[in-house]
Amino acid sequence: MNKRVLLALTSALALGSVASAFGGGGGGAQPTTRPATTTAACQNVVNILASNQNFSTLAGAAQAAGLIDTLRNASGVTIFAPTNAAFAKIPADALAALTKDTASLGNVLRFHIVPSRLNARDVSTIDSAGTLAGFTLAVSTVNGNVFVNDARVTQTNIVACNDVIVHVIDTVLLPPNVTLAVPEVPVENVTQEQATTPPPPEPPTANTQETAQGQDTTQGQASNASDSSLAPAISVTAIPALPLNAPQSTTGGTTDTTAATSTTTTTAASTNNVTSVVGQTADLSTFAAALKAANLEKAFGAEGTYTVFAPTNEAFAKIPAAQLQAIIDNPDVLFQILSYHVAGNQIAQGDLAATTSYEPLVGEPVQLMGGNMVGNANIVGEPIVTDNGIIYRIDTVLLPPGLELPAPAAAATTTTAAAATTTSSTTTATTTTATTTTTAQATTTPTIAQIVATDPRFSTLLAAVQAAGLVETLNSGEFTVFAPTNDAFAKIPAAQLQAVLANPDQLRRLLTFHVVAGRMPAADIASQTVLTSVAGPTLTVAVDNAMVKIGGATVTQADVAASNGVIHVIDTVLMPPGN
């Protein structure tokens, strides 16, 4: 490869784009900081890639594909990371074309991510692994060297935050649905033998004992040395005998590769995996279609252990049709949403009530409450146990906090039509109608329940309202609601909050203590000393330094208008007498 071309490409990818992505100059997004779980602060995988010169091309590719946040928020996954030397095996023109095709580039990078945590010992005991690209990687051992497809593992067990583990490989992995645009070579420079014979695979290291002695399996940061000084290929003799969580398998046949014997393992394809079961479950057909659209059906059909919170068809039906179609048409957004519903470990039904949150494959931890709620969704029906995990049906689609949803196609079309200059009376009439419809939709005031459902400050309140069965109540009638934020609920000890959420009668009384019949703006409330709650007991009202106080709570935002009332935001949960 032309080294100047590679250097220019690497500079464009890594030094320009990555600088902003990893918090350098230009006001780029800062990495999310998580609390340290050990005495030494860990690094997320994005920081590891950014700080190691051997991964500058990979880091630049992740930025070009828009996967920085996906990697930063990844949890419980395994990443096979190609070095700069691995990318250098790709012709410069083909690599440049790939980086411009962000959809294909994203597929390539996801083909390097396995949605479960596999350390070196685990990798050595399996023969395949599903990826987030939807295709399966073949894992084999040749002369003591571990290969993933045709890439050799050269360094293992680089541990990142969020239970992510990285193994270094010497070749870029290409999924079956991506073909590199290889530049044409002049015929006169190619012999007949070169034109008809594919290049031989890279031979494995012959001396197994030397490989074992030189192997670096130390957990920690990848070496910053040049690629030529990387540790030799991983040796089976350097791997402890007992895998942590790899599945049992039976020994199969042998394959002759470059005159070396390769012992592989074979297992029958399971028909009771997550993907198969979802596809066979009638009320999960929309979820199954979404997995297929996001190229995730094969990922959850392979070996691994998962807990899947699967939205039912009715859950997807709550999303407006145009918005749902826009999500399905955007693979990256769809990928983030679906991955947010999956944990990389199995949470048994008996452990659900005692578990307060789970780490999704992508995104921040998701709250579990009382064994029957996840985030703002209710768990419905009985769980389905599969060979590689467990499935819980839920009645609402979970959305990662801060995720920007794509605009529905209808809205985009209307905007275009309104801005366009029309030349006929028919077109003008159509444009006017479209614009009028959009304006009417935009000015429709949401109900109290809809405001609570769409404002991220009220996600805990929403979960409580759903658990108490009060959603329909807040969609009808006319009320004044004093709405506690998530921070307000966080003031309640976790055990006490769980106990309230698990008691529907007590929860309903607590919530209706925050509701007053009728619409009362802040000015009217300030003139009162006592208000009667829907629950029955009264609420005291006071004004202190121009701040309105309700019971022991301060109103931090007043007069959030709803179609059926008004919301006043408060900083403390109000406790009715006797609770």
Residue 218's nearest CA partner among 145, 159, 148, 162 is 159
**Residue 227 CB neighbours (<10 A):** 16
Residues 386 and 459 in one domain: no
Residues 388 and 452 in one domain: no
Of 134, 169, 204, the residue that ends a domain is 169
Residues 459 and 375 in one domain: no
Q: Which two tokens stand for residue 210?
A: 């030397």
* Cα separation, 223 vs 52, whole angstroms: 8
Residues 565 and 500 in one domain: yes
* Ordered per-residue pLDDT tens for the chain, 579 residues: 433 333 334 334 433 333 333 333 333 333 333 333 333 467 888 888 887 878 888 988 888 888 888 888 888 889 999 988 888 888 877 887 888 888 889 889 989 998 888 888 888 888 888 888 888 899 998 877 889 999 999 888 888 888 889 999 999 999 988 888 655 544 444 444 444 444 444 444 333 333 333 333 333 333 333 333 333 333 322 322 222 222 333 333 333 333 333 333 334 445 788 888 888 888 898 898 888 887 777 777 666 788 999 999 888 888 888 888 888 888 778 888 998 899 888 899 889 888 888 988 877 888 888 888 888 888 998 999 998 889 999 999 998 887 788 888 654 433 333 443 333 333 333 333 333 333 333 346 788 988 888 888 888 898 888 888 888 788 777 899 999 998 899 898 888 888 888 888 889 899 999 999 889 988 889 888 999 998 889 999 998 877 889 998 999 888 888 888 999 999 999 999 876
**Does residue 419 lie in a domain region?**
no
Residues 487 and 384 in one domain: no
**Does residue 416 lie in a domain region?**
no
* Cα separation, 533 vs 145, whole angstroms: 71
Residues 459 and 382 in one domain: no
Q: What are phi and psi of 186, to 5 degrees?
A: -55, 135
Residues 459 and 387 in one domain: no
What is the count of structural domains for the chain?
3
pTM of the model: 0.40
**Does residue 140 lie in a domain region?**
yes
**Does residue 409 lie in a domain region?**
no
CATH number for position 388: 2.30.180.10
**Does residue 147 lie in a domain region?**
yes
Residues 388 and 455 in one domain: no
**Does residue 433 lie in a domain region?**
no
* Cα separation, 320 vs 404, whole angstroms: 16
Residue 394's nearest CA partner among 415, 380, 413 is 380
**Does residue 294 lie in a domain region?**
yes
Residues 469 and 533 in one domain: yes
**Does residue 476 lie in a domain region?**
yes
Kindly tell me the burial class for residue 75, based on how many C-beta atoms sit within 10 Å of its own C-beta (0-12, 13-18, 19 or more): buried
* Angle between helical axes of 102-110 and 92-100 (0-180°, round to 10): 100
Of 372, 394, 416, the residue that ends a domain is 394
Residues of the domain holding 336: 274-394
